[in-house]
Structure 1
Amino acid sequence: MVKSCLIIYDNIDISKFPKLIAFLKRTGDGYQAKKSKILTKSEIDRFLSSADDKEFLMIKVGLILGIAGACRTDELVNLTVDKIEDVDYSLIVKILNTKTKIPRIFVVTDVGNMLELFRKYLSLRPPDVKHKRLFLYYKAGKCSSQPVGKNTMEKIPSVVASSSATLLADAGVDITTIKRHAGWKSTRVAEGYVENSIENKTKIANQVLVGTTTSAITKTLNVSESNIPSNINFENCINVTFNLNVNK
């Protein structure tokens, strides 16, 4: 940032000053960038289910889209209704103008009442609105024709991009997927969320202290009416998934 500003405003290239670069690197040792506070999945679910729609419906929709697509403030502000396709059980959202200049598409699935909240908010859109911006000022259960500005929208997504990345990291998603989801070019940014993931730290602690691993193990058990086990025991297991196939 210092290098870019000096070139733009003062036409000074600090790469020609090796002592200055060495000084900046030395003073930057141990520096850790401050991350935004994030919402946990339970906090998100609780807000979406319990907050009053009459007051918070617009914020709920912004939170849903922000989390699902790791959207930044400008992306939500400029999102238009014609870039959202409602296909019964999901929403397909296109973000064309992004900070990283990489257009992306994300999907909001029919989890909980997310689609219901979106459709409820969209149904309140006044018929005389002359623009296509999705987010309109919302108060007392009604939308006006005035689009939501950046300052208002900043109250919503200051945490949603980091929350989305952290939720993915907690779920064990790889760095490449996190980068693609958020539209990031930097691997270092994505690595920060994986490194700070509590779930990831818990898995590492289990591997170090208990000796467990996260490698996938598949066990097939054929059971008939005459061969039903009384119990099945698992030890030192985390993130266990059971797939039950019933053949009649």
Structure 2
Amino acid sequence: MSADNSITVDVVSDVVCPWCFIGQKRLDKAVAAASDVEVHIRWRPFQLDPTIPPEGKDRREYMMAKFGSEQRIREIHARIEPLGEAEGISFAFDAIKVAPNTLDAHRLIRWAGAAGEAVQNRLVRRLFQLNFEEGANLGDHTVLIEAARKAGMDASVVETLLPTDADVEAVRTEIATASRMGITGVPCFLLEGKYAVMGAQDADTLTDAIRQVAAAKARGELEKVD
């Protein structure tokens, strides 16, 4: 497959965002459907709530403070669960005990990207599973180190780096850049750095966007976009 028929999709997301997990599954379907296009995926950071302390917060208390009532929380979960089931996700919201600060998870995703696209994709998928299907605390370094190991990263390096400030500012700068670009919600799929598809759109919409941008790139039209 030639480079002329390839595109890069930057996915701006947070690993504690259920819509981002759904979006990841739909993107996988879209990439499979647009098999005539070589799609390269890069995961970019976003924090739904950067004010959560490093140790996290009790999730039930956090959700109550945010949404006001158990009834409202149940309604939100009830709306998301069948959409997840349709994508092969078994949301286990009641199993999630901690609302984590995801800064360290995003640092890990950044390091995974340096190890290669396949490694980063495996890691992101594992982090979504850990949080939403297994109720693991993504702020726990032990959880992150094991996820790194399973994704094929050098766990000893991750274990050394996580307690430090390595790439903290780099991740925060990326998040600030996304905000300046007008990204206020996730997931956001940024195709070839020029065209944004906002929200967990259905696979067909993503497939069409991939094909249209790939075709425009092949015609040399993307360079003409201001």
Query: So what's the TM-score if we normalise by structure 2?
Result: 0.22
Give the number of the structure whose residues are more often helix, by fraction.
2
- Which protein, 1 or 2, shows the higher relative CO under an 8 Å CA cutoff with sep ≥ 6? 2
